[in-house]
Amino acid sequence: DAMVIQNPRYQVTQFGKPVTLSCSQTLNHNVMYWYQQKSSQAPKLLFHYYDKDFNNEADTPDNFQSRRPNTSFCFLDIRSPGLGDAAMYLCATSSDAKAGETQYFGPGTRLLVL
Amino acid sequence: GDSVTQMEGPVTLSEEAFLTINCTYTATGYPSLFWYVQYPGEGLQLLLKATKADDKGSNKGFEATYRKETTSFHLEKGSVQVSDSAVYFCAFTGNTPLVFGKGTRLSVIA
């Protein structure tokens, strides 16, 4: 089945220690998104790639970076995680970025910062 | 700014009860509207969507109608099941990427 895969499902890191979360897709979609979801809050878009074009949300901290080496993979790098970065990180894809386009989500990676 | 307001949860219902989860939005232009569902331990899944005024989205017995005059997209189901227990998110896209509400947790008890 075509899908969006996120690994690992749970990630523990130490305060200030860089961490990378990964996302892959078999849908061959052009657009990949990263969201941060804190407990009992709405998912918040951090950035997205349209093909190789990177689009950062204005309020995404510099601590968060992303890489998309090819169509299938996208990575979220947190350079120096703080306690406030503990959250669920959701990856999503869509075939286009037009209004009305459905986004397909992975299961998420829950990040714990010690 | 653009935002979605949906009813606070948690909502607890008995099996076969009628469900309504209210959702209103603030957006410029003519957004497309969505309901996503998140089952325990899983990612978000599209439940239904509507792309223009008066459209009705439906799936798995759930329905929602795009009401431009009231900027609403309320989710309804006539008879809920235990398997419907999940968190439901209202969302829209328009001039901005997908904007979500905070989610409403639904628990259905047998």
pLDDT digits (tens, 9 = 90+) for A74-93: 999 999 999 999 999 999 99
pLDDT of residue B60: 95
Distance, CA of B108 to CA of A70 (rounded, Å): 42
Phi-psi map region of A39: left, alpha, beta (phi>0 left; psi -120 to 50 alpha): beta
B40 touching chain A per CB within 8 A? no
Strand partners, B93: B32
What values do phi and psi take at B83, rounded to 5? -70, -10
* Identity of the residue in B4, B43, B51 whose CB atom sits nearest the CB atom of A105: B43
Structural contact between residues B25 and B73, judged by C-beta atoms closer than 8 angstroms: yes
Query: Residue A84 in 3-state DSSP?
Result: helix
Name the minimum distance, in Å, from the CA of A103 to any CA of chain B.
8
Residue A31 burial (10 A CB sphere; 0-12, 13-18, 19+) = buried
Q: Is the pLDDT of residue A2 over 70?
A: no
Residue A100 is given by DSSP the state T
Which of B90, B93, B95 to mutate to test binding with chain A, by most A CBs within 10 Å of its CB?
Answer: B93
| DSSP element (H, E) containing A75 | strand A73-78
* Identity of the residue in B46, B94, B100 whose CB atom sits nearest the CB atom of A102: B46
Apex CA A59: angle with CA A53 and CA A65, to 5°?
A: 50
For residue A1, name the pLDDT band (cuts at 50, 70, 90).
low
B32 touching chain A per CB within 8 A? yes
Per the CB < 8 Å rule, is B46 touching A99? no
pLDDT digits (tens, 9 = 90+) for B2-20: 889 998 889 999 999 999 9
| A55's tokens | 């689009």
Q: How far is CA A93 from the centre of its chain?
A: 10
pLDDT digits (tens, 9 = 90+) for A4-40: 999 899 999 999 999 999 999 999 999 999 999 998 7
Distance, CA of A69 to CA of A55 (rounded, Å): 15
The answer to whether the Cα torsion of A82, A5, A54, A19 is positive or negative is positive
pLDDT digits (tens, 9 = 90+) for B37-95: 998 877 899 999 999 999 999 999 999 999 999 999 999 999 999 999 999 999 998 76
A interface with B, Cβ–Cβ below 8 Å: 4, 6, 33, 40-43, 45, 48, 57, 90, 92, 97, 99-108
| B85's tokens | 């227990």
Which of B44, B87, B92, B99 to mutate to test binding with chain A, by most A CBs within 10 Å of its CB?
Answer: B44
